[in-house]
Structure 1
C-alpha cells in the first residue's frame, strides 16, 4: 500500500502543478479560448447554412425570412443608394452618436455615484430607491414622459438611452465596492492615507472588474433602447430604419438593420473585453 501510494504521489503533484500554472480555461478537460472560437465559428456557419437551405427549398416564405442572398443584395443596395434619402453611413453615425453619448454620460455620472453609494450609507439611502424604482420599467413606458418634458429632439432620445444604461452602471459600481478588502482599507488609513487615496488606489481597482462588466451590460441595454428612442420624430438612425421598413413589410431591410446593430454592439463588446484584459488582468485568476 505504501509503495503504491508513493508511486502515485509524483504524478498527482505534477498534475496539480500544471493545473496551477495553466491559464483560466486551459485546465485539463476544459476547452480553451481557441476551441471556443472554433466552436462559435462552426455554429455560425451551420446557422447560415440551414438558413440558406430552408429559404432555398421554399420552406420559409421570403416575407417572413428572406434568403441570405437577398439580405446581401439589400445591404449593397442600401449602402449604394441609402434609405429614405439618407445614406447608410449617416444612419449608422447618428445611432452611434446617440448610444455612445448616452453611454458616456452614464459612465461619467453612474460610476462615481455608484462608488459613493457603496461607501456611504447616506448616499445609498438617497439614490438607491429612485434607481431601483425606475430600473425594471421598460423604456417604452416612460418614453411619453421624455417627449413631454424634453420635446422630440435629440435630448429626449439620448436621455432615454441614458436612463437604460445608467442603472446597471451605477449598481455595478456600487456592488464592486464590496470587492475591496476591509483590511487593506484599514491598513491604508493607519498609514495616513486620505479618503481620496483609498478610493482611487484601493476601492476603484478592486471594483473595476464589476464596473467593466456593468458597462458591457449597460451598452447592451443602450442598443436595445435605441429602437424605442427612434420611434418618435426620427428621420435618421438604424432604429428608425428598422421601424420604417417594418411598417412596409420590408423584412430584408429590417434584418439588415438588425445585423448592423448587432455587429456594432459586438465590436464594442470585443473592445471592452480587450480593455478588461489590460486593466484587470487578474480577473478570473486565483
Structure 2
C-alpha cells in the first residue's frame, strides 16, 4: 500500500512539474470532447477536429496569419494602453482615502454600463479602423484593471508602510518598494481577466464593416457556409489567447520571482 502511495505521489509531482505534458493532455482531452460532440450531432456546422485542424494548417500560411497578427496587435495595444491608464490611477486612488470616497460612487455607477452599446458612437467619432476597436476595448478593460488595482492598493497592511517610513523612505520609494510589488500579483490577475475580455470584444467589433482580423475571417467563412474554415479561424483565435496567456505567465515569473520561490 505504501508503495502505491509513493508511486502515486511521484507521478503527481512529475505531472505537476511537466507543464508541457499537462498542456498536451488538456488539448487532447478538449479535442476528444469535440470529436464526441461532432459525432453525436452529425451536423456540418460542427466538423470534426481533424478536418478543422487540417484546414487551419493549410490556410494559415496563405493568409490567415495576417488576420491573426492584426487581431493580436489590436489586443496587445489595448492591454498596454489600458494598463498605462488604469494602474497608476488605481494605485493612487487606493492609497488616498478621500479621493477613493469621492471617486468610488462614480466608478460604481459607470462600471456596470455596457460599453459595447457605445460601439456606434465610437465608430462615428473614430471611424472604422484599428483606433475605434482599440478605444472600445480600452474603455471596457480600463475599469476591470482600475478596480482590481485600487482594491489591491487599499488592502496593503499599514504596518508595511509604517515600517518603511520609519527607515526614512520617500513617497516614491514606498511606491516602488512596497505598494507596487504588493499589487503586482493582483495586477497580473487583472491582465488575465482583461485579456479574455479584450479578445471577446475584439471578435465582436471585427464582425462590423471590416475586412481584417480573426472576427472578420470567422464571420466571412460562416457567410460562405465554409465550416472547416470557420473553425480554422476559431482555432486561430484560441491559439491567440493561449499564446498571450503564456506570455503573461512568463512576464509574471520574470517580474515577480518571489511568488515562485
> Displacement, 1:78?
2.1
Of 55, 58, 73, 1:74 maps to: 55
Name stretches of at least 5 consecutive residues in structure 2 with no aligned partner: 1-8
> Displacement, 1:126?
4.9
Query: Is 1:266 matched with 2:242?
Result: yes
Q: Check 1:194–1:275 CA distance in 2 against 1; reply closer, same or farther (3 A cut).
A: same
Query: Is 1:144 matched with 2:140?
Result: no
> Displacement, 1:143?
1.2
TM-superposition CA deviations, 1:13-39 (whole Å, max 9, x none)? xxxxxxxxxxxxx9xx99962377656
Within a 5 Å distance, the mapping from 1:2-13 to structure 2 comes to none
Who is 2:85 aligned against?
A: 109
Task: Confirm or deny: 8 A CA contact 2:15 2:21 kept in the other structure.
Answer: no
Of 193, 208, 212, 2:188 maps to: 212
Query: Higher Cα Rg: structure 1 or 2?
Result: 1
Who is 1:191 aligned against?
A: 167
Structure 1: how far apart are the matches of 2:254 and 2:187? 14
Of 203, 215, 238, 2:214 maps to: 238
Of 33, 45, 70, 1:64 maps to: 45
Task: Confirm or deny: 8 A CA contact 1:178 1:207 kept in the other structure.
Answer: no
> Displacement, 1:139?
4.4
TM-score if structure 2 supplies the norm length? 0.83
TM-superposition CA deviations, 1:239-280 (whole Å, max 9, x none)? 111122223333222221121111121112122222223332
Structure 1 residue runs of 4+, over 6 Å off?
Answer: 29-32
Structure 2: how far apart are the matches of 1:54 and 1:147? 39
Who is 1:8 aligned against?
A: none
Who is 2:28 aligned against?
A: 45
Task: Confirm or deny: 8 A CA contact 1:106 1:169 kept in the other structure.
Answer: yes
Structure 2: how far apart are the matches of 1:123 and 1:32? 48
> In the comparison of the two structures, how many residue pairs are matched?
252
Name stretches of at least 5 consecutive residues in structure 1 with no aligned partner: 1-25, 82-86
- Greater share of helix: 2
SS at match of 2:133: helix
TM-score if structure 1 supplies the norm length? 0.77
Two-structure CA RMSD over aligned residues (Å): 2.8
Structure 2: how far apart are the matches of 1:249 and 1:243? 10
Greater relative CO (CA pairs within 8 A, separation 6+): 2
